[in-house]
Structure 1
């Protein structure tokens, strides 16, 4: 898998900070401020360890599902089609991060049914009492419907295999960590930076540019 794909996934997670805070803010608050007090750092690490594990598993499954298209020359059109779809979704994700287009958010509706089934499970895990409980809550949290997550999953589908897909989603997950781990003053600074119009535009165009570059590679 090209290294640039891992860089793109990491940047998508990092530069999509405003979306991550908006999507996960309520869950973070529910887990972080139980009983009127802030939970200790190990619990936050546990939440995010579980979340990244779910992302990695989802990426592996997506890579495995798409890998059949890479096993035979007779399936080359399918392989090419998956790659094109992945690059188009990457462009749409970049345009969304830049604040220019919201079309990619339709992907969030695809996971709504799954989350409705998992949400009661998540509720039963609260309040968090220990580190394993924090990891378990994070494992469920990782399946929250999110347009950015699903965009990267489409890329994982065309990554060529379960290992490549898992690494792609893990890189994305690491990119989201600064926004979801940071607290207090640092969190406010990160949110302000992520919401800055110029930063959003530059970040989104960079991500979209990777998608354009991938499509141009097909015609060279």
Structure 2
């Protein structure tokens, strides 16, 4: 299971370019929404708070997915190896999505838009951001943003076999996305240009596809 935690962290890092493309505008908006009179120290705590809120939401969703997978395995005898194969397939789809070779995950993202349209207006209640607790709540809402990268990683939580493991997997995934979004919050334009570089994006996509194939191989070995 420790390997799954590390893998989730790596998926977060490999998907950093997608994070920038998907959430970069929101990150910039949140940073600019900080009260102009806020000093540098408080700004750091605010930025950390809304990222913590985002990761907390990922962990909550991961816990729900982990519990669902556990109940499916225990109550109806659904094989964990099948859940692992699903996770492997979604990793491959994620790689194809990030590489922009096959965009099926766009359709998967549509599933989350029903919830998002109700949660998104709530964010206006916390702007302008003056305190970390406002940023924490705003980040918790942000975590529900429909995202193929998040949904693909959730299949790992589904296959983890427990509520706790599912939550920890998504926590480590969130940590993997943190460096890119934190640097963007502080205006590291050079990092952004690297992460959005076409060749870099394709290399990251290929690594995700390879990892998905390896996951499928391990899952098939569990079955036979």
TM-score, normalization by structure 1: 0.89
Matching residue of 2:153? 152
Equivalent pair of 1:179/1:187 in contact (CA under 8 Å): no
Matches within 5 A, 1:98-117: 98-117=99-118
Matching residue of 2:66? 63
CA shift at 1:2, angstroms?
A: 5.2
TM-score, normalization by structure 2: 0.87
Matching residue of 2:24? 25
Residue 75 (structure 1) aligned with residue 77 (structure 2): yes
Q: Give the ranges of 4+ consecutive aligned residues of structure 1 lying more than 6 Å apart after TM superposition.
A: none
CA shift at 1:204, angstroms?
A: 1.6
How far does the alpha carbon of each residue in 1:121-180 deviate from its partner, in whole angstroms, 9 at most, with x for none? 111111112111111111111111111111111221111111111111111101111111
Q: Which runs of 5+ in 1 are unaligned?
A: none
Q: Report which stretch shifted further, 94-103 or 131-140.
A: 94-103
CA shift at 1:45, angstroms?
A: 0.6
Q: Report which stretch shifted further, 155-164 or 27-36.
A: 27-36
Aligned to 1:160, what secondary structure does the other structure show? coil
Compared CA separation, residues 124 and 198, structure 1 to 2 (3 A): same
Aligned to 2:129, what secondary structure does the other structure show? coil
User: CA–CA distance in 2 between the matches of 1:131 and 1:36?
Assistant: 12
User: CA–CA distance in 2 between the matches of 1:186 and 1:27?
Assistant: 13
> Over aligned residues, Cα RMSD in angstroms?
2.2
Matching residue of 2:119? 118
User: CA–CA distance in 1 between the matches of 2:168 and 2:202?
Assistant: 27
Matching residue of 2:201? 200
Compared CA separation, residues 174 and 35, structure 1 to 2 (3 A): closer
CA shift at 1:76, angstroms?
A: 4.3
Compared CA separation, residues 22 and 38, structure 1 to 2 (3 A): farther
User: CA–CA distance in 2 between the matches of 1:205 and 1:122?
Assistant: 35
Residues paired across the two proteins, number: 217
Matches within 5 A, 1:168-207: 168-183=169-184, 187-207=188-208
Compared CA separation, residues 112 and 19, structure 1 to 2 (3 A): same
How far does the alpha carbon of each residue in 1:24-43 deviate from its partner, in whole angstroms, 9 at most, with x for none? 22322222113784961111
